[in-house]
A = this chain, B = another copy of it.
């Protein structure tokens, strides 16, 4: 019974890592669409989101079946519930990259991101993508140190977001209100992807150590 339980739990975590790889592709492609103005890539992100939603439903079914049939307690119970929360956050990260793709699509054949703020947004995209890649690995390896380290990447993201505000509120800004609003919202979406990545990593720390990251920090 316990062995079957842990097999199913492992398989749930494999599914979570699989969803995280779908999210990774979604983040990568949406930011590629944004920086190249490629409508076809943007469409691909938007239509692929349904796969993430379906994969979420499968993980939820597994989690409910684990809870009903195996009636886990203590750490095992908290692990299954953590899995349910992780899958909600991963789905949300997918939704946020759809928002990024939609801004890209709205501005085709132009680019939503003006040249002078492009380095900052490109770096934010890189950080977001890297964080999601690391989260996939963290889910698979359950590497607590890697999970704790992820919060530093989030600090860079917060700094970059403040930089975008400095850029678009500077007296030199010549791209008008529409571009500024796009950048402000893009910054928000990318920042939220990063926040969710940290949160998913923190749940892995909790699953492995039974403690929240602040307490688990070496």
How many positions in chain A have a CB within 8 Å of any CB in the partner chain?
24
Q: A64-B77, A64-B81 are in contact. List 14 more A-B contacts (CB 8 A).
A: A64-B78, A67-B67, A67-B81, A71-B73, A84-B84, A85-B88, A88-B88, A165-B181, A168-B177, A169-B178, A176-B177, A177-B180, A180-B180, A184-B184
Q: Which residues of B contact A84 (CB under 8 A)?
A: 81, 84
A107 within 8 A of B: no
**A161 smallest CB distance to B (angstroms):** 11
Q: Across the interface, do B184 and A181 meet the contact criterion of CB distance under 8 Å?
A: yes
CB interface residues, A 164-184, toward B, < 8 Å: 165, 168-169, 173, 176-178, 180-181, 184
Q: Which residues of B contact A185 (CB under 8 A)?
A: 184-185, 188
A47 within 8 A of B: no
Q: How far is the CA of A73 from the CA of B168 in the complex (A)?
A: 53
A74 within 8 A of B: yes
Q: How far is the CA of A185 from the CA of B181 in the complex (A)?
A: 8
Q: How far is the CA of A184 from the CA of B68 in the complex (A)?
A: 44
Q: Which residues of B contact A85 (CB under 8 A)?
A: 88
Q: Which residues of B contact A188 (CB under 8 A)?
A: 185, 188
**A2 smallest CB distance to B (angstroms):** 16
CB interface residues, A 46-75, toward B, < 8 Å: 64, 67-68, 71, 73-74
Q: Which residues of B contact A184 (CB under 8 A)?
A: 181, 184-185
**A119 smallest CB distance to B (angstroms):** 19
Q: Which residues of B contact A68 (CB under 8 A)?
A: 73-74, 77
Q: How far is the CA of A130 from the CA of B68 in the complex (A)?
A: 37
Q: Which residues of B contact A180 (CB under 8 A)?
A: 177, 180-181
Question: A68, A178, A181, A185 — which one has the most chain B CB atoms within 10 A of its CB?
Answer: A181
